[in-house]
Homo-oligomer: A and B are copies of this chain.
Amino acid sequence: MKRTQKTSSRSADDATEKGRPQMADLARLAGVSVATVSRALNGSALISKDTRERIEELARSLNYSINIGAKNLRLKQNRTIAVVIPYDRVSRQHISDPFFLAMVGSLADAITERGFDMLLSRVDAESLDSAADLYNSGKAIGIILIGQWRHHDQLNQMAAKRMPIVVWGTQIPQQLYCTVGGDNMAGGAMATRHLLERGYRRIVFIGDPQLAEVTYRHQGYVEALAAYGLQPDPQLLVCVPFDANEARAGINRLCEQGVSFDAVFACSDVMASAASQVLHLHGRTVPDAVGVVGYDDIEWASHCNPPLTTVRQPIGAAGAELVDALLCVIDGVVVVPRVLPVELVVRSSTRPDPG
């Protein structure tokens, strides 16, 4: 059967032809077998130094690089990690939030550093199965999912099918998958406590407590208030997804309704910054009339005007942690969810310590 005309017609000078050279070419040119070439290129001890060097030299001169696909197939291995960013149709959360983008950057670094390739894909969160496909089809050996949103159950199902998956998010009781995330409760508490310490009392909370991570931030908020003998006022809850416009609208509504407040704690810097802007338009100065605290500490938080007091999430470390966790999961090691420390960064969107 000679369907393989192309191959069978490969002549001696073939390597210089259009197609990239392959082992067979090197073998022919070096006058050895393909096996020898394979071994030489893989640094097998079986090959004489002489032969190896000759082959290596040849490979270099032909600009040969091994066909990873074939190698992977043969070895049933794979060095690709899929990073998935679900976008939520409902909340219309898009990939554009700088926090997520920064996370992608951090992951790119961490994955590259460990000698893996990173496959980035966006998937409709309503059909996370298509993320599963990345694994099932052998495109990747594991999946890192950024944000757990409302998809706890789907994630549990995937994990139940022994899919190697790690999620940036928060630990939820009875979860089967591994999460890595910031300490949301502590973050919510330290932001709120800071505002209280600076003399603010009526603190607006911006965020959707239905989202797992926000749940805990809100809990921290409530606890910090309680420590000051305060009750959370439902009027002060602006329940919106991570979105600048929604946050803007929310604060705007509050102002127009004449709800009294003297501080804002937003669950992302993007929303905090948006809030800050709206307040400005209403003639309420930050930090004097209203104190503002954000979340994430994305780069621009320090470039804002005024620079944002915020809860820093360790984005740089997060990438590394996620990848390490995933590699453990792949190795079958049980990994307990990891909670990364967060840190309050005090800038100028809250007024100086009165004490």
Q: A-side interface residues toward B, CB under 8 Å?
A: 18, 20, 63, 65-70, 72-73, 78, 80, 83, 85, 94-96, 98, 101-102, 104-105, 108-109, 112, 117-122, 133, 136-139, 161-162, 244, 270, 273-274, 276-277, 280, 299-300, 303-307
Q: Shortest Cβ distance from A189 into chain B, in angstroms?
A: 26
Q: How far is the CA of A234 from the CA of B328 in the complex (A)?
A: 56
Quote the shortest CB–CB distance from A187 to chain B (angstroms). Answer: 22
Q: Which residue of B lies closest to A78 (CB)?
A: B69
A108 to B104, CA, bound (A): 11
Distance in angstroms from A249 CB to nearest chain B CB is: 14
Are A67 and B108 in contact, with the CB atoms below 8 A?
no
Provide the main secondary structure of the chain A interface: mixed
Do A299 and B109 contact each other (CB < 8 Å), given the known contacts A68-B139, A137-B66, A139-B68?
Answer: no
Contact yes or no, A136 B105, CB < 8 A: no
Which residues on the B side are within 8 Å of A133 (C-beta)? 65
B-side contacts of A80, CB under 8 Å: 119
Q: Which residues of B contact A270 (CB under 8 A)?
A: 299-300, 303
| Set B78, B119, B162, B300: member contacting A98, Cβ < 8 A | B300
In the complex, chain B residues whose CB is within 8 Å of the CB of A274: 303
User: Once the chains are docked, how many angstroms separate the CA of A139 from the CA of B118?
Assistant: 11
Q: Report whether B120 and A108 are in contact in the complex, using a CB–CB cutoff of 8 Å.
A: yes
Q: Complex formed: what's the CA distance from A274 to B109 in Å?
A: 25
CB closest residue in chain B, given A140:
B117
When distances are taken between beta carbons in the complex, the residues of chain B under 8 Å from A102 are 96, 101
Asked if residues A69 and B138 are in contact (CB atoms below 8 Å), the reply is yes
- A83 contacts which chain B residues (CB < 8 A)? 120
Q: Is the CB of A67 within 8 A of B138?
A: yes
Find A108's partner among B95, B109, B300, B303 (CB 8 Å cutoff). Answer: B95
B137 with A65: CB separation less than 8 A? yes
CB distance from A292 to the nearest CB of B (A): 11
Q: How far is the CB of A220 from chain B (nearest CB, A)?
A: 25
